[in-house]
A and B are shown apart, each in its own frame.
Chain A
Amino acid sequence: MKRTMLKLATSVVACGALVASLNAADVIKIGVQAPITGKYANEGQSIDNGVKLIVAQYNANGGVLGKKLEVVSCDDEGVAQKAAICARKLVNAGVLAVIGSYTSGATEAAQTTYFRNKVLQTSDGTSDSLTKHKYWTFFRNSFPNSAEAKFTANYLVNVKKYKKIVILSDFSSYSTGLADATVKAIKSLNGNVIYSGKIKSGTQNFTAVLTKIKSMKPDVIYFSGYYNDGGLLRAQQIQLGIKADFVGGDSNDNPDFMKLAGDSAKGTFLINVPTPDILPYDIAKKFLKDYKAKYGMMPASIWTLLNIDGLRAVLYGVKETKSTNTKKISDFLHNLKGFPGITGPVNFRSDGERIGGGYMAYEVQGDNSYKIVYK
C-alpha cells in the first residue's frame, strides 16, 4: 500500500512537472543585465551582442530541450540603482538565468534578488565579495580580484623588481577591492608601496594627483580602475614627464584605453586573462569569427567571452539535467569538471567561484597590439 502511495505520489509530481513545463510556454528565457548605455557601453553592448549570437546559434540547431531560447535584455548603465530595477524586471519576465552584469557594483546590487527568486546568475564581476554570500544561484565566469592581485604583486615585486610602487584606484567596489588586495599581496612579498590613493572616476583632470606622485619619483604606477580613466591617467602621466612604468589592471584592457592614451599607450603594461585573439581553443576562434561576421567587429574585450562561457555552461547544464529547475542545474554546475569553454576549461567551486585563472602581463606595442611579456 505504502509503495503504491509512493508511486502515485511520484506520478502526480511527475504529472505536475509535465503540466508546469507545458504551461511554461515553449521558450526558455535568458536575461542579459549589462551596461548597454553609459560609461561602459561598449562592453555592455558587446556582452548583449555575444549572448544574442550564441542564442541564435542554439535556436538554429533546434534550441535546448526542444524549446526555443529567447533573450531579454536590461540596461543597468553600470549603476547599482538601475541594476536593482533590472533584477526585478528580469525576474518578472520569468528568465531562467541572467548573464551579467559587467561591473561588480551592478552585479552585487542585483545578486540577492536573483537568489531569492531562484534565478541563476553568471557574471564577470571580479570583486571578491560577490561569492561571499555563497548564493547557490551565483556563478562567477571570470576570476576573482584576489587571484589577479596575487599575480600583479608577483609581477611588480619579483619580475619587474620595482622598488617604489604607487597604487591608484577609483571609488568603485571593484577597483578599491582590487587595489586593497594588491597592496596586501605586495606587502606580503615585502614590496614597497610608497603611495596609494584614489581618483574620482570621470573627472578627467588627474594632473594634480599625478604631480604629487611625480615628487615621489616612483618606479611604477599601478591603476586598478577602468579604461576611460586609465587612458587619461597614462596620457597625463607622460605629459607631466613622470618617468615611471604604467601597469593597468584588467579593466584597462579595452580599445578605448589606447585611443585615450594616444601615443602614450606604447609601453603600457596591462594585466588580464588572455585576450580573445590569442586564445588557443577552436571554439574561441569560431566564436570570434561568427561574432565578426554578424556584427562587423570584434567583441570589445575578453569580458564578453567570459560571460559567453557562463551562458554556455548554464545551457549545458539545462541540456544535461534535462530540466529547467534552477536548483538542479546549479547542483550540476557546482560539480562541473573541465567543461570546454571559449576561455579555457570551466570548473566551479561550491560557492560559485570559477577555478583556475591564467593571468598574463602584456606590453602595448607601437601599433597598439599586445606582446605577452609574462605569464
Chain B
Amino acid sequence: MDIFLQQLINGLTVGSLYALVALGYTMVYGVMKLINFAHGDLVALSAFAGLTIYVQIFGEAKSSLFLVLGVFIITALLIAVVGVLLERLAYRPLRMAPRLSAVVSALGASLVIQNAIMLIWGPNMKIFPSNLFPSTIWTVHNVVFTFTQVMIMGVSAVLMIGLYIFINKTKMGTAIRATAIDQDAAKLMGINVNRVIMIIFIIGSSLGAVAGLFIGINYRGITFDMGWMYGLNAFVAAIMGGIGNIPGAMFGGILLGLFNAMISGYISSEWAQTFTFVLLIVILIFRPTGILGETIAEKV
C-alpha cells in the first residue's frame, strides 16, 4: 500500500508539472486553433532565466521563501513578455494565413528560442543550487514527500483553481470563452480579440514559467533542449484531456503523470513511454476530441 501511495505522489508531482505546461498549449489552441510548438521552449527559457535571476541578482548565498517568490514573479513576468512578443512577431502576421503557415511559424519560433538559449547560456547543462527550497522531507507510513513536491502540487492546484475561476466567473474569462467559440462573432459583440489573445499568451506563458522553475528546482539539471521533452509530454496531456478544454488539460496532465508512474512502477519502466502512447491512441479512438473534449457539430 505504501508503495502505491508513493507512486501516487510521484505521479501527481510530475503530473502537476505536465498540467501547468499543458494549459499553455490548450488555451492558445482553444482561442487561435494553433498549436504553439514554442511553448515547451518558453518553459526551458524560464528555467534558465530564473536561475540567472536567482544567482546574479539575488546572489545564492542565503535563501528565503520570500526571495524565491520574488524570483518566481519576476521570471513569470519576463516569460509573459516573451510570450506576448512571440505572438506579435510569429503568429499575429499569420492570423489570416492558412493554418499550416502558422504551424510552421510555431516550429520556427521553437528553434529560434532553443538556439537563443544555447547561445546565451551555452550548450552545457546548468545546475540549480539546492537551497531554493528547504530540503525538508516528511515520511508518513513509509511514504516520503519533500517540501518541493508539496510546493509543486500545492502551487499548481492553486493556480489551476484560480484559472478556472478566472475563466468561468469574470468578464474577461467570458470574453475568452466567447472568442474561443467564434472569433468573428466575438468581434461583432465588441470583444477586443487582440486583447483576449494577449491575455491568453500572458497566462499560458507565466504558467509555463512557473513549471519551468519548478522543474529546475526539483530536478536541478537544466539543458537548452529540455523544452522538447516537457513540451511533448504536456502536448500529449493536452490532447488526452481534449485540446482547447482547460479542465481537460489539467486532468490530462495529472492522468499522464499518474499513468506513467504506475506503468513504471508496476509493469516496466522501459515500456512506460510506449504504453503512454498506446493510451493516447486508445483515448483518441473512443473519444476523438479527448476525454473532456466536447463534440461540436461542424457548421455547414
Interface residues of A (CB under 8 A from B): 36-39, 41-42, 197-200, 202-205, 207-209, 211-212, 214-215, 228, 231-232, 235, 239-241, 256, 259-260, 262-263
Contacts and interface: CB of A to CB of B under 8 A. Distances in A.
A232 B226 CA distance: 15
A200 B263 CA distance: 14
A202 B229 contact: yes
B273 A231 contact: no
Nearest to A229: B221
Max chain A C-beta neighbours (<10 A), residue from B11, B123, B219 = B123
Interface in B6-25: 6-7, 10-11, 13-14
Contacts of A262: 130, 220
A200 B273 contact: yes
Interface of B: 3, 6-7, 10-11, 13-14, 118, 122-125, 127, 130, 135, 137, 139, 144, 146, 215, 219-221, 223, 226, 229, 260-266, 268-270, 272-273
Given A39-B125, A41-B124, A211 B270 contact: no
B137 A37 contact: no
B137 A239 contact: yes
A212 B3 CA distance: 7
24 contacts: A37-B123, A38-B123, A41-B122, A41-B123, A42-B124, A197-B269, A199-B269, A202-B229, A205-B14, A207-B261, A208-B260, A209-B264, A211-B6, A212-B3, A228-B221, A231-B221, A232-B220, A239-B144, A239-B146, A240-B144, A256-B125, A260-B127, A260-B221, A263-B135
A241 B3 CA distance: 12
B6 A240 contact: yes
A241 B272 CA distance: 23
A208 B7 contact: yes
A228 B125 contact: yes
B253 to A, nearest CB: 14
Contacts of A207: 6, 10, 13-14, 261
A42 B268 CA distance: 32
Contacts of B130: 262-263
A59 B162 CA distance: 67
Contacts of B125: 39, 41, 228, 256
A13 B135 CA distance: 74
A1 B137 CA distance: 93
Nearest to A200: B273
Contacts of A209: 264-265, 269
B161 to A, nearest CB: 24
Contacts of A42: 124
Closest 8 A/B residue pairs (Cβ): A208-B264, A37-B123, A207-B10, A209-B269, A262-B130, A204-B219, A208-B261, A259-B127
A233 to B, nearest CB: 11
Given A204-B219, A232-B219, A211 B3 contact: yes
Contacts of A212: 3, 264-266, 269
Given A208-B262, A215-B3, A232-B220, 12 more contacts: A197-B270, A200-B272, A200-B273, A204-B219, A208-B260, A208-B261, A208-B269, A208-B272, A239-B137, A240-B144, A241-B139, A262-B220
